[in-house]
Structure 1
Amino acid sequence: MLNELVTKYRAWKKYRATYDELSRLSTRELNDLGISRADIGTIARDAMR
């Protein structure tokens, strides 16, 4: 049970780090990467895996 909790916490931290980092980019920088602001949540969720 503790292992599962630690695993979920680490995944959440990775999600937040990815989300926060992408959110700090300007719209132009996101466009250069082929990412729209609407995609940030999906990309961050994918990074959890």
Structure 2
Amino acid sequence: MAYVNQTRAVTATSTDRLSSLVATLKGGLQRRRVYTQTLRELNALNDRELADLGISKFSIPEIAREAAYGL
């Protein structure tokens, strides 16, 4: 019995690596923008508005982090 096994090695070109790096940086910048915007908007609320939402001033950074990074 005979069979053929053919494997092609694919290497990433420098253009592929650069475009991947750019995409990663863009994604990181976008997540950072979401984080800072969420912080800004929540910090602009007064204590009464935050209480209506069930949010403490101390949990604002955690909420912003979760909104941006899903952590």
So what's the TM-score if we normalise by structure 2? 0.67
* Runs (4+) off by over 2 Å: none
Percent of aligned positions with the same letter in both sequences? Answer: 39
Q: Which has the higher contact order (CA 8 A, sep 6+)?
A: 1
Counterpart of 1:32 in structure 2 is 52
Task: For 1:1-49, list aligned pairs within 5 A.
Answer: 1-48=21-68, 49=70
TM-score of the two chains, using structure 1 as the length reference: 0.95
Gaps of at least 5 residues in structure 1 are none
Larger radius of gyration: 2
SS in 1 for 2:48: helix
Q: CA RMSD in A?
A: 0.6
The structure with the largest helix share of the pair is 1
Provide the rounded CA distance (Å) in 2 between the counterparts of 1:12 and 1:47.
10
For these two proteins, the number of residue pairs brought into alignment is 49
What's the offset of the Cα at 1:40? 0.3
